[in-house]
Structure 1
Amino acid sequence: MSDFSKSLAVTASALRAEAARLRHVSENISNADTPGYRRKSVSFETVQKDGTELVQAGRVRLDRRALPRIYDPSHPMADASGYYAGSNVDLMVEIADAREAQRSYEANLKMFDQTRQMSASLMELLRK
């Protein structure tokens, strides 16, 4: 595998991993008000393929922090004392994670484009 191919494979794997991360962040944001919803997070892990270390999204983990108890006796999920389990999603944390994932995605996209341009320039030089 050439250096250009390895570089493209590494950046493509990072793009896929960041896309998976952003997908879980968007799920968390959309379910922030869903009773009983636990925040999901994904970690990254490295894998070897053809002698190249690639990154991939690991297992999805549920946040084990206690769910907040919300008092609303009229809610259909409220118990006898009028409380129900809320969501443990913090929107500020999710927005920060989304921005970080977006910036990482953009950086990897720029690396992918730079590698592609360098490869095209090399092919043009070799033709002359």
Structure 2
Amino acid sequence: MSLYTVMDIAGSAMSAQNVRLNTTASNLANANSVSSSSGETYRARHPIFAPQLDAALQSGPGKLSMRNSNGVGVEVLGIVESDKPLVMEYSPNHPMADDNGYIYKPNVNVMEEMANMMSASRSYQTNVQLADTSKQLLSRTLRMGQQS
């Protein structure tokens, strides 16, 4: 596996974590929104990741090696809405209350989202460091061929 492949893998991971950070930011921004019906209420969203194993496994079962592997990155398959129940709150004096006096709030757990944001941020940071280290290794490798 070349160092260029490492850069590709780190790049795909950074892209995936960027999607995760944006999704988490959207969830946090809408955490306190209110609606008058469950159909209009914001629902928490989460990205679905999958490893890009296809290229690595094309050589067949048991034949995967560092020599014939193109590397394994990550891709975002999509973003799904949470199926956790919405929060119904009885507030008959609220201007957005329905006929029964209920308002609907998103199913966003702020503490979970903050932990998710910290995790995504650390993962992004780790991949940036990985790419930087790979760049330094490539640079040192090129300098090895230079004469003093």
TM-score in terms of structure 1 length: 0.92
Deviation at 1:4, TM superposition (A): 1.1
What per-residue deviation string (whole Å, max 9, x for no partner) do you get for residues 47-103 of structure 1?
245833211222101011110111222333311111021111010000000000011
Unmatched 5+ residue regions in structure 2?
35-40, 56-68
Q: Percent identity?
A: 27
Asked if 1:46 corresponds to 2:51, the answer is: yes
Given residue 77 of structure 2, which amino acid in structure 1 is its aligned partner? Answer: G
Secondary structure (helix, strand or coil) at the match of 1:127 reads coil
Q: Distance in 1 between matches of 2:101 and 2:139?
A: 66
Higher CA-based Rg:
2
Q: Which runs of 5+ in 1 are unaligned?
A: none
Which of 61, 74, 87 is the aligned partner of 1:68?
87
TM-score normalised by L of structure 2: 0.80
Report the structure, 1 or 2, having the larger strand content: 1
Letter in 1 for 2:144: L
Q: Distance in 1 between matches of 2:95 and 2:78?
A: 33
> For the Cα contact (< 8 Å) 2:5–2:70, is it kept in 1?
no
**4+ residue stretches of structure 1 with deviation over 4 A?**
none
8 Å Cα contact 2:10/2:127 also seen in 1: yes
Task: Letter of the 1:21 partner, please give it.
Answer: R
- The 2-side partners of 1:51 and 1:117 are apart by 21
Partner residue in 1 for 2:6:
7
Higher helix share: 1
What displacement does 1:32 show?
0.1
CA RMSD of aligned residues (A): 1.5
Distance 1:24 1:73 in 2: 32
